[in-house]
Amino acid sequence: MARQKKAAKDNAADTSMGFTPERFERELKDLASKAKDDTWSNRVLGQVVLYVKTLVLLTLLGVYSNASQLALSPVYGSIPAAAWHSKALMAGCFIGWAGNLAFRQVLPISTEKLLPLVALYVPVMQCFLYRFSQTLGANYGPLVTEGVTLVPMAILTAASVADNLEGVDLSSVPKVLADAVPGVGSWGTFKLIEHIAEMLLRKHVGTVFWYTRVGMEILLAGSYTVFAPSKYLALAIPALVHTAMFNPHVDTPTAMALLNTTMLADNWMILDRRESVTGYISVVEQTRSKMRVLRADHSLLGGDWAEWRGNQVTEPIYAIFVMLEAVRLVEREVPVADADAKALVIGMGIGTAPSALVSHGIETTVVEIDPVVYEFAQKYFQLRENHPAVIEDAVKYTNRAANETQDVYDYIVHDVFTGGVEPVDLFTFEFFQNLYTLLKPDGVIAINYAGDLRSPTPKAIVRTILQNFPTCRIFRENLPDDKAIAETGSDFTNMVIFCRKAAGALTFRNPVKEDYLNSPSRQNFLTPQNEVLPGDVFSNGKDEEGFLFRNGTDKVKEGQYANAAGHWAVMRSGLPATFWERW
């Protein structure tokens, strides 16, 4: 400070006295000092710092993009949650990039220092906005929620990146490209990081607290705080208190106890919950009726009634899962005894179908991709099994099995609908070819499919099944509701497609007492009802959509929104909104 005062005094004196030798000598020294500081290494270091800061900002936003989608999926399902996501994110980045100069003039602090403050409030705003999911609906709920949470993060990140890149030396870049390189390069880097983060999160989600939905948001907010600390973070204390003590979505025992306190007021109780590869998984029980269900994101994988839990098998709440067991009733040229039969079940749910097959004495192999679903089926739903399930992606399993052996199974049960949308890779022509290979010559397959029969995707999938198996019959869970169809234009239903590998008629034998396993629901629903004729699915008995091949799933995935929205409405009509919002 004294040196600065002296220099100021000398400058003032020099100014008053005009040019002097002493002043000339001092200016030469100042220039030499500046030249010494402005070395090549310092310039490179400065450029590296700018690039590193930019990369950190883009990385945090790339991870946040995935965390936001995961946080929305229990309330809206993965497909509706993604409907507006890319557009909203792109709009936020464009606003931030184009308006960075305006933000510097208007905001009291830099956009970098605002980022941690906004990030700390994201879990709070999500928790608040979930309460309006029924009003906003699956169409606009995700857009509004991310518009208040993720979009501001995108705006501030893009503005901060633009500020950093203003100092980047682009003298070696052709002038015609210099203006475009920072923006295009930043967007490309962000999309790459977003994709890598998606793959990593899909593989590790739920393994530790920091890989849970809110856990990731807390970790990201902490990273922003370290990256750009400021005194304004004191304003985030209410958000920290809410997240630590009052947010029921945090995966801690305290939050679980708080959640059950509120849910018990509506006669619901969460017995267990976990985040896993197929979504948010929980076991929830209705305390009055003792109905217990297994939830995956915004969907139910199955459920049973507590009063029947000591029975030979549990009593399922959904008739469709009982209908799958009718695969045993399909008449065959040479009947096979249950003790000599083998079955393959793709997809577990709560284990209704595999438990029944095992109870009949059939050696049953189950392939399930989600270890938590398998664990909860064992722990809470009286799963019966011959041997542990195969925890593997069914596509990989069937590819390997079909190449190693043939004619293995008498029965195959295909039941993989989850999360409000079908996993299309398990409904392709090639996948059904593998199942065809794994079925004995007179074997039978039962395929559960849920969808809107008026939309193109179910038609393509049904047509693909019928092309692979020569003899099939289709049954829906309930008769069509003409009034609802006229009002909504949708005919969303569960259906089971029974097929034989051999040609000829497909008929069912009459059940006997032993087939029912002492179960009232099986007495009512084991025999398939409500048959659907091909003409009811395809116009004039034809399918203009063709088949679903492995290399054509992208087109189908783009059209899955109608199916997912229909499923969302069905789930909301069957259970109260609070059931889905308090996850």
Count: domains in the chain: 3
Give CA separation, 387 vs 344, 362, 528, 558, in Å.
12, 12, 29, 38
- Eight-class DSSP state of 434: H
Does one domain contain both 67 and 130?
A: yes
The residue from 224, 245, 266 where one domain ends is: 245
Report whether 161 contacts 56 (CB < 8 A).
no
Q: Assign residue 517 a region (left: φ > 0; alpha: ψ between -120 and 50; beta: otherwise).
A: left
Does one domain contain both 485 and 417?
A: yes
Out of 297, 304, 410, 415, pick the active-site residue. 415
Q: What's at 48, amino acid-wise?
A: V
Residues 6+ apart with CB under 8 A from 4: none
Does one domain contain both 74 and 33?
A: no
Nearest by Cα to 383 from 447, 457, 304, 325: 304
Does one domain contain both 49 and 193?
A: yes
Does one domain contain both 440 and 554?
A: yes
Q: Give, for 572, the enclosing helix (H) or strand (E).
A: helix 561-574
Does one domain contain both 334 and 480?
A: yes
- Whether residue 283 is contained in a domain is answered as no
Q: What is the pTM of this model?
A: 0.88
Give residue 173's Cα distance to chain centre: 41
Domain limits for position 320: 316-581
Does one domain contain both 347 and 482?
A: yes
Does one domain contain both 471 and 564?
A: yes
Cα–Cα–Cα angle for 165, 58, 101, rounded to 5 degrees: 40
Q: What's at 311, amino acid-wise?
A: N
Report whether 559 contacts 358 (CB < 8 A).
no
Does one domain contain both 225 and 145?
A: yes
Q: What is the dihedral of CA 268, 272, 274, 276, to 10 degrees?
A: -90
The residue from 245, 271, 302 where one domain ends is: 245
Separation between Cα atoms, residue 509 and residue 235, nearest integer Å? 71
The CATH number for 478's domain is 3.40.50.150
Does one domain contain both 8 and 121?
A: no
What phi and psi, each to the nearest 5 degrees, are found at residue 42?
-65, -40
Which residue, chain included where needed, has tokens 């284990």?
A: 351
Does one domain contain both 184 and 173?
A: yes
Alpha-carbon torsion 162, 163, 164, 167, what sign?
Answer: positive
Alpha-carbon torsion 572, 573, 578, 582, what sign?
Answer: negative
The residue from 219, 245, 271 where one domain ends is: 245
Nearest by Cα to 285 from 276, 274, 293: 293
Separation between Cα atoms, residue 447 and residue 428, nearest integer Å? 13
Does one domain contain both 210 and 136?
A: yes
Order the strands of the 315-316 sheet from edge to edge. 268-276, 279-286, 291-296, 300-305, 315-316
- Whether residue 114 is contained in a domain is answered as yes
Q: What's at 342, amino acid-wise?
A: K
- Whether residue 303 is contained in a domain is answered as no
Which residue, chain included where needed, has tokens 């999926």?
A: 73
Nearest by Cα to 559 from 421, 415, 463: 421
- Whether residue 288 is contained in a domain is answered as no
The CATH number for 229's domain is 1.20.1250
What phi and psi, each to the nearest 5 degrees, are found at residue 497?
-110, 115
* N-to-C CA span, the chain: 59
Active site residue 415: yes
- Whether residue 254 is contained in a domain is answered as no
3-state secondary structure at position 562: helix
Give the per-residue pLDDT at 418: 58
Hey, how many other C-beta atoms are within 10 angstroms of the C-beta on 505?
8
Per-residue pLDDT tens listing for the chain (583 residues): 444 444 544 554 444 445 566 676 676 566 556 555 567 677 788 888 899 999 999 999 999 999 999 999 999 999 999 999 999 999 999 999 999 999 999 999 999 999 999 999 999 999 999 999 999 999 999 999 999 999 999 999 999 999 999 888 887 778 777 788 899 999 999 999 999 999 999 889 999 999 999 999 999 999 999 999 999 999 999 999 999 999 999 999 999 999 999 999 999 999 999 999 999 999 999 999 999 999 999 999 999 998 877 788 889 998 888 999 999 999 999 999 999 999 999 999 999 999 999 999 999 999 999 999 999 999 999 999 999 999 999 999 999 999 887 779 999 999 986 555 668 899 999 999 999 999 999 999 999 988 777 777 788 888 899 999 989 999 998 888 888 888 877 788 888 999 998 888 999 999 999 999 999 999 999 999 999 987 777 654 444 557 888 888 777 766 678 778 888 988 998 899 999 999 8
